[in-house]
């Protein structure tokens, strides 16, 4: 059974657990496995910019013409400190140090060349900036992948490194072509393959998928080698609700669900897998298992194409308190064909995708991410329509592969009302895999906890 397994950044930073819980099963190594590794925790944030806070990284300094070389030196020291945490599991300090120093030096050389090209004034700096972002992103995965193979070999485990970053070649290959070439002649039965989560390609994996690139690499590898199963190792289970909100004891591992549910989760920022990474797996009928690195004996949750729960039940309560509700009210809307088409065209022009949409005779309500709010768009909406209302709210979703049973909505409304949580807007499609509720931001965590207790905890 050939598996392709992605290991997230938090898990990689605790490689002692990865070695004992994932690579060595009951003290014995099993082959026929490809490990696709992320950079260590926070490294990509240091290389580019912090994903959540926007704190500048090396890339930000490069595009702002700030001292990026010094930033790379500081980064190198941080990465060497990370290396020191793995010496007790036989990372060769000298080899790992030299590899990293060479990589950082070559990265500096490339960035200096890019700076010279930009300074010449003969090229548009945009494409150079894209190239720099790709280059810097690749450093994190190359570092963690090299270390992993070094550790495995020094523990008498057959392992090979597949560095998909193309750092030392100038081959003009697409992402798929590079993956196909890299895995063409490997005998998986005799070795563990460790591959970088970053893949160099003519289309630019960062340009296409931004920070979801490692899961895209993982997915493409699984499809290319015709994996029997794809596995993602995380620091937590895919659970009925966020353990940080409801507590670990009330966060119930889901067990089984389908790719439709995974898409619903991704739409509200709770990614089991990046949606552009899940599609190839789904289309090729490859099941995805989400496992907890620190509970190796737990089977985790299997996401498959055709799974539908035999019994109707709620599987997950998810959501976000970082959304904006835009309501467009216009008395001329009623009965007018294509009215919402004009609204959608404006959103399309600003490349804004909505999470939820609800309508009545004279109003259209759209829910978008707070970060996507565009003042120019709002001005155009206000110029065109009678009344435009903007509220900062939270979205809570009741999700399951089979929730089409009487009483779910009634229990939801009763539980929230009993705890003085007001539902300000609601949406549910005929497919009935996701009931979306808008509540006040201050009520977000309260609503998640209430609904997890009411709709999920009794199913444990």
Average pLDDT over residues 159-183: 95
Lowest mean pLDDT among 150-159, 250-259, 334-343: 334-343
Question: Chain centroid to CA 80: how far?
Answer: 26
Q: What are phi and psi of 139, to 5 degrees?
A: -65, -45
Whether the per-residue pLDDT at 376 is higher than 90: the answer is yes
* DSSP-assigned beta bridge partners for residue 394: 439
Q: What does the pLDDT look like over 193-223, one tens digit per residue? A: 999 999 999 999 988 888 889 999 999 999 9
Q: Do 368 and 326 contact (CB within 8 A), yes or no?
A: yes
Q: What does the pLDDT look like over 221-233, one tens digit per residue? A: 999 999 999 999 9
Average pLDDT over residues 387-415: 92
**Residues 130, 133, 138, 140, Cα dihedral to 10°:** -170
pTM for the whole structure? 0.90
pLDDT confidence of residue 460: 45
pLDDT confidence of residue 340: 87
Q: What does the pLDDT look like over 247-265, one tens digit per residue? A: 989 999 999 999 999 999 9
Whether the per-residue pLDDT at 371 is higher than 50: the answer is yes
Higher per-residue pLDDT: 446 or 335:
446
CA distance linking residue 228 with residue 37, whole number of Å? 19
Higher per-residue pLDDT: 123 or 393:
393
Percent of the chain at pLDDT exceeding 70 = 99
Q: Do 373 and 234 contact (CB within 8 A), yes or no?
A: no
Question: Chain centroid to CA 149: how far?
Answer: 25
Lowest mean pLDDT among 299-303, 354-358, 427-431: 427-431
Burial of 373 (0-12, 13-18, 19+ CB in 10 A): middle
pLDDT confidence of residue 269: 80
If one counts every other C-beta atom within 10 angstroms of the C-beta of residue 126, the result is 9
Structure tokens at 366: 């759209």
Q: Do 397 and 319 contact (CB within 8 A), yes or no?
A: yes
3-class SS of residue 35: strand
CA distance linking residue 277 with residue 209, whole number of Å? 9
Q: What does the pLDDT look like over 95-115, one tens digit per residue? A: 999 999 999 999 999 999 999
Reported as a pLDDT band with limits 50, 70 and 90, residue 430 is confident
pLDDT confidence of residue 152: 97
Q: What is the overall mean pLDDT for the chain?
A: 93
Query: Which of 454, 415, 456, 11 minimizes the C-alpha distance to 239?
Result: 456
Q: What does the pLDDT look like over 300-333, one tens digit per residue? A: 999 999 999 888 889 999 999 999 999 999 999 8
Burial of 33 (0-12, 13-18, 19+ CB in 10 A): buried
CA distance linking residue 421 with residue 417, whole number of Å? 6
Query: Which of 395, 409, 387 minimizes the C-alpha distance to 455?
Result: 409
Q: Do 65 and 112 contact (CB within 8 A), yes or no?
A: no
Rg (CA), the chain: 24
Domains, the chain, ranges and CATH?
3-235 (3.40.1160.10), 316-459 (3.30.2130.10)
CA distance linking residue 413 with residue 58, whole number of Å? 48
If one counts every other C-beta atom within 10 angstroms of the C-beta of residue 301, the result is 23
pLDDT confidence of residue 457: 67
């Amino acid at each position: 059974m050939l598996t392709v397994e992605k290991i997230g950044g938090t898990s990689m930073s605790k490689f002692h657990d990865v070695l004992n819980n994932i690579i060595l099963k009951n003290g014995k190594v099993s082959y026929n496995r490809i490990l696709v590794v992320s950079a260590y925790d926070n490294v990509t944030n240091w290389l580019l910019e912090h994903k959540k806070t926007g704190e500048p990284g090396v890339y930000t300094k490069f595009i702002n013409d700030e001292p990026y070389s010094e930033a790379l030196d500081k980064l190198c020291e941080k990465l060497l400190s990370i290396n020191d945490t793995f010496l007790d599991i036989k990372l060769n300090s000298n080899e790992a140090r030299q590899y990293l120093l060479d990589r950082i030096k070559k990265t500096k050389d490339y960035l200096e060349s890019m700076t010279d090209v930009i300074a010449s004034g003969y090229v548009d700096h945009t494409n150079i900036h894209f190239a720099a972002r790709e280059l810097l992103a690749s450093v994190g995965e190359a570092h963690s992948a090299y270390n992993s193979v070094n550790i495995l070999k020094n523990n008498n485990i057959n392992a090979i490194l597949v560095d998909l970053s193309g750092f030392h070649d100038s081959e003009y290959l697409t992402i798929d072509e590079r993956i196909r070439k890299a895995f063409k002649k490997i005998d998986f039965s005799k070795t563990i393959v460790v591959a970088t989560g970053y893949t160099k390609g003519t289309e630019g994996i960062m340009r296409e998928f931004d920070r979801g690139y490692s899961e895209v690499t993982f997915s493409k590898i699984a499809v290319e080698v015709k994996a029997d199963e794809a596995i993602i190792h995380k620091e937590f289970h895919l659970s009925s609700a966020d353990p940080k909100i409801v507590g670990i004891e009330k966060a119930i591992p889901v067990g089984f669900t389908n790719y439709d549910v995974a898409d619903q989760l991704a739409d509200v920022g709770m990614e089991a897998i990046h949606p552009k990474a899940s599609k190839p797996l789904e289309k090729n009928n490859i099941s995805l298992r989400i496992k907890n690195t620190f509970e190796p004996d737990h089977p985790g949750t299997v996401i498959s194409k055709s799974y539908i729960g035999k019994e109707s039940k709620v599987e997950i309560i998810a959501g976000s308190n970082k959304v904006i509700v835009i309501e467009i009210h216009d008395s001329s809307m009623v009965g007018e064909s294509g009215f919402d088409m004009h609204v959608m065209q404006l959103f399309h022009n600003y490349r804004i995708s909505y999470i939820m949409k609800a309508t009545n005779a004279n109003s259209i309500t759209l829910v978008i991410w707070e970060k996507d709010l565009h003042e120019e768009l709002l001005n155009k909406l206000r110029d065109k329509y009678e009344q435009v209302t903007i509220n900062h709210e939270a979205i809570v979703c009741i999700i399951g592969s089979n929730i089409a049973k009487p009483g779910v909505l009634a229990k939801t409304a009763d539980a929230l009302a009993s705890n003085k949580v007001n539902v300000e807007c609601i949406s549910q499609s005929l497919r009935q895999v996701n009931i979306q509720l808008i509540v006040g931001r201050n009520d977000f965590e309260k609503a998640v906890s209430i609904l997890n207790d009411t709709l999920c905890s009794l199913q444990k």
